[in-house]
Amino acid sequence: MSDRLSRLFAPRSVAVIGASADPRRIGGRPIASMQERGFAGSIWPVNPNRNEVLGLKTYASIGDLPDVPDVAIVAVPAAMVADAVADLAARNVAAAVVFSSGFAETGAAGRQEQDRMLAAARKGGMRLVGPNTLGVFNVHNGFYGTFMSAFEAGFPDKGRIGIASQSGAYCGHLVSVMRERGLGLAAGVMTGNEADITIGDVIARMVEDPDIDVIAAYAEGIKQGDTFVRALEAARKAGKPVVVMKVGRSALGEAAAQSHTASIAGNDAVTSAVLAEFGAVQARTTDEMLDIAQLATRRIYPVRNTLGVITVSGGAGVLISDAAEEVGLAMPQMPEPVQARLKEILPFAAPRNPVDCTAQVLNDLSLLGRFTEALVAEGGYSTILGFLTYTGAAASLSPGLREQFRIVKERHPDRLYVLSIVAGHERVAEYEHDGFTVFEDPTRAVAAIAAMGRFGTAFARQPGLPPPVVPALTLPATTPSEAEAKRLLAAAGIACVPEKVCATAEDAVAVATDFGFPVVMKIVSPDIQHKTEIGGVLLNVNDADSVRFGFITLLERVNANAPTARVEGVLVARQLKGGVECILGIHRDPVFGPVAMVGLGGVFVEIVKDVAFRRCPFGIDAAEAMIHSLKGAPLLQGVRGRPAADIAALATMLSRLSVIAHQAGNALASIDLNPVIVLPAGQGAFAADAVIEIGGGNGD
């Protein structure tokens, strides 16, 4: 299959089924584009109504082709596609690109026809791009298996960036923007409905492609989570950056994605977590995606990314500092002795970092070189951003400025150099030729620089701790009560608050007395998952009389609000004090399978939604990283005189929970532990409530 994908990218022969003599029509555009771009392979048009198309001999049928093409482009009405695909597969064609629409994106009938087409392809081992796709192109070899009209305005320059896109039109948009920005392009694949080849398949193939250094992906929904994950991990191991624009984040966007490509948008927070896990950087806008891809082609990815700024404007230095703080990019101060020496050279300079050498460089260009050399050699920054604005474009200054920067770069070639300059294409090209990536907006430069550090960290990451060994959980056939859920989890090593189910009020008094007051009392019923909604939980029960009254109160509330619910008794639990409330959970994502979640309880999870996600299973180190990534993590680390919480115990619980979910498979829909009381360091973490949902639901 890998060989078939390779031939899709670099075919030696292409058949066009439904070829048109009009270069503006869908069946004519790919032929005209390949002819214009010097495709060296054979092009075989298939059209029973013509003897010649665009100067090429035309064949009446697939069976009449002179040889087996590597790739076939299918541009016929939907009703004819399945038969055409069957004929191609019978001839052992490696791959087909199906332009035709009218399949799964249109509803059930279209889905049935798409399945018929796919079955025909698989019978012959043929790979499919599409249907409902704008196709495939490879700038390096001139293969343009696409009817994209964006190329009418000009073809892109050869470059090292590959585009994997589920949307054809948006790929065309990216191509157009890249052409206007002068960014080189290697190849593009638009996957459309993804009946067979998915965006994960394309990323995996681009990882193997020696002509591609950077992969830019546009995704509306991930269909095959395992394939996508393997591709991202392959990219990480190969040191190839992947920048992803994932759309469909909103409810409206998700609905649009489903109607457009018949794909499942899934939970965007989960997709973001998967991207972060494998070091793929998520972009929010087209400019951000292309900024990151452009800078990534320099192939310098600092593991410890620090930013040193040389500027001719103090105001721009403040702007850059703000932007760096927002994206978490470190800007350490210059060493004090170096600052003092630079002040001796230029008393009114601001050498802290940003290093402002002021407009005095207009009188003495060597100041720029001396200050930049100090920034690089003695500041030790991995990335240097120079803000020159319009000064860098001035004909009287540009050659000298370039020379000053070039000298520093030649002495320190291992650093990443970025400039913020406002200039025309020719002037920018001069700086780019010297090895400096140029952005007009310094804040966009900062965002791209920060992404290089995230790539570097991911590429350097060593394997983490393995998931812990956890006894397999034997799940019941139906959703268990809270007490049964806790018993099951405790058997798998999940610590729960000491508790006991009581059948009578006097039993409850005895248990409460043994635990010590105060206690918590809850109704126990497999039919009541959300006990607080019916008043089924009592806190701060402080004495025996209150226990007796609480027992009666809970039964009365069940009779009033859920009269048909089965009641197994009343649970009495020790009420823990002095801890931090957290929430742990598992839900089964429709794309990526079981996913674990951790967050701080109360307002943090309900309103702020301060939570972290990760695919299951994972080790304790990954669990700790999730916990420390929370915005509210300082509450666990100890603030304002509060003791640090037992983060190690919480991480152990989270990691074990991830293994439980992985082992349970489709039998488990979700687990909620809310709250989990995290006591001070060394005292443990305990689940105070537990809900286990049985069944293969998606857990949403």
Range 78-106 average pLDDT: 97
User: E strand or H helix at 519, and its extent?
Assistant: strand 519-524
| Structure token pair of residue 432 | 């780019």
* C-alpha torsion sign, points 259, 94, 176, 184: positive
Residue given tokens 């989960």 in the structure block: 270
- Report H helices in 353-441: 366-377, 398-411, 425-433
Of the two residues 696 and 344, the one the predictor is more confident about is 344
> How far, in Å, CA of 34 to CA of 182, rounded?
21
Range 387-402 average pLDDT: 95
> How far, in Å, CA of 524 to CA of 539, rounded?
15
Helix, strand, or coil (residue 138): strand
| Cβ-contact 126, 172 below 8 angstroms | no
CATH architecture of 1-133: 3-Layer(aba) Sandwich (3.40)
* C-alpha torsion sign, points 108, 110, 114, 115: positive
147, 137, 68, 82: which is closest to 112 by C-alpha? 82
| Cβ-contact 413, 381 below 8 angstroms | no
| Cβ-contact 158, 186 below 8 angstroms | yes
Residue 62: how many CB atoms within 10 A of its CB?
A: 22
Which CATH fold topology does 580-694 show?
Answer: D-amino Acid Aminotransferase; Chain A, domain 1 (3.30.470)
Range 42-53 average pLDDT: 97
Of the two residues 248 and 406, the one the predictor is more confident about is 406
pLDDT at residue 622, rounded to an integer: 97
pLDDT at residue 51, rounded to an integer: 94
pLDDT at residue 306, rounded to an integer: 98
354, 348, 342: which is closest to 316 by C-alpha? 354
| Structure token pair of residue 274 | 């998967």
pLDDT at residue 603, rounded to an integer: 66
pLDDT at residue 256, rounded to an integer: 41
Range 311-340 average pLDDT: 96
Residue 101: how many CB atoms within 10 A of its CB?
A: 17
pLDDT at residue 696, rounded to an integer: 56
Predicted confidence band at 60 (pLDDT cuts at 50, 70, 90)? Answer: very high
| Structure token pair of residue 28 | 């004519």
pLDDT at residue 46, rounded to an integer: 98
User: E strand or H helix at 555, and its extent?
Assistant: helix 544-561
What are the E-state strand segments in 534-667? 537-541, 569-574, 580-589, 593-600, 611-615
Residues whose CB falls within 8 Å of the CB of residue 223, separated by 6 or more in sequence, listed in order: 194, 198, 263, 264, 591
Backbone dihedral angles phi then psi of residue 454, each to the nearest 5 degrees: -65, -40
From residue 25, give the alpha-carbon distance in Å to each of 9, 58, 62: 23, 17, 21
pLDDT at 266 over 50: no
Side chain identity at 419, as an amino acid letter?
L
| Structure token pair of residue 213 | 């250094």
> How far, in Å, CA of 256 to CA of 244, rounded?
19
User: CA angle at residue 351 from 348 to 352, to 5 degrees?
Assistant: 130
pLDDT at 699 over 60: no
pLDDT at residue 607, rounded to an integer: 73
HEC letters along 311-343 = ECCHHHHHHHHHHHHHCCCECCCCCHHHHHHHH
| Domain boundaries defined on the chain | 1-133, 148-285, 307-460, 498-574, 580-694
Check: CATH 3.40.50.261 for 148-285? yes
HEC letters along 251-320 = HHHHHHHHHHHCCCCCCHHHHHHHHHHCCCEECCCHHHHHHHHHHHCCCCCCCCCEEEEEECCHHHHHHH
pLDDT at residue 411, rounded to an integer: 96
DSSP character for 380? -
> How far, in Å, CA of 43 to CA of 386, rounded?
49
Range 170-186 average pLDDT: 96
Range 448-464 average pLDDT: 97
> How far, in Å, CA of 311 to CA of 359, rounded?
9
Residue 298: how many CB atoms within 10 A of its CB?
A: 16
Range 556-577 average pLDDT: 94
The region that residue 279 occupies, defined by phi over 0 for left and psi between -120 and 50 for alpha, beta otherwise, is left
Q: What is the DSSP string of 202-245?
A: HHHHHHH-TT-SEEEEEES--S-HHHHHHHHHHHHHHT--EEEE
181, 190, 248, 253: which is closest to 217 by C-alpha? 190
202, 176, 150, 118: which is closest to 29 by C-alpha? 150
pLDDT at residue 386, rounded to an integer: 97
Name the burial class of residue 510, with classes exposed (0-12), middle (13-18) and buried (19+) by CB atoms within 10 angstroms of its CB.
middle
Rg of the Cα trace of the chain?
31
| Cβ-contact 686, 574 below 8 angstroms | no
486, 487, 489, 470: which is closest to 619 by C-alpha? 470
Residues forming beta bridges with residue 387, ordered by sequence position = 311, 420
pLDDT at 260 over 60: no
pLDDT at residue 249, rounded to an integer: 63
Q: How many CA atoms lie within 13 A of 350 on its CB side?
A: 15
Report helix angle 199-208 to 2-9, nearest 10: 80
Bond from prior residue into 131 cis (ω within 30 degrees of 0): yes
pLDDT at 640 over 90: no
* Model pLDDT for residues 581-606, shown as the tens digit of each residue: 999 999 988 889 999 999 998 767 77
Q: Looking at domain 498-574, what is its CATH homologous superfamily?
A: ATP-grasp fold, A domain (3.30.1490.20)
Residues whose CB falls within 8 Å of the CB of residue 191, separated by 6 or more in sequence, listed in order: 129, 130, 133, 164, 165, 166, 197, 198, 199, 202
pLDDT at residue 532, rounded to an integer: 86
pLDDT at 420 over 60: yes
User: E strand or H helix at 664, and its extent?
Assistant: helix 647-664
The correct CATH number of 307-460 out of 3.30.300.30, 3.40.50.261, 1.10.600.10, 2.40.37.10 is 3.40.50.261
Range 321-333 average pLDDT: 97
pLDDT at 254 over 60: no
* Model pLDDT for residues 513-537, shown as the tens digit of each residue: 999 999 999 999 989 878 888 999 9
| Cβ-contact 513, 544 below 8 angstroms | yes
Bond from prior residue into 617 cis (ω within 30 degrees of 0): yes
| Cβ-contact 155, 162 below 8 angstroms | no
pLDDT at 91 over 50: yes
Mean pLDDT value across the chain: 93
Side chain identity at 50, as an amino acid letter?
R
* Model pLDDT for residues 298-308, shown as the tens digit of each residue: 999 999 999 99
Least confident of 102-106, 253-257, 531-535: 253-257
Range 341-367 average pLDDT: 91
Helix, strand, or coil (residue 645): strand
From residue 448, give the alpha-carbon distance in Å to each of 60, 185, 291, 399, 563: 52, 18, 6, 26, 60
Domains 1-133 and 498-574 in one fold: no
Residue 113: how many CB atoms within 10 A of its CB?
A: 18
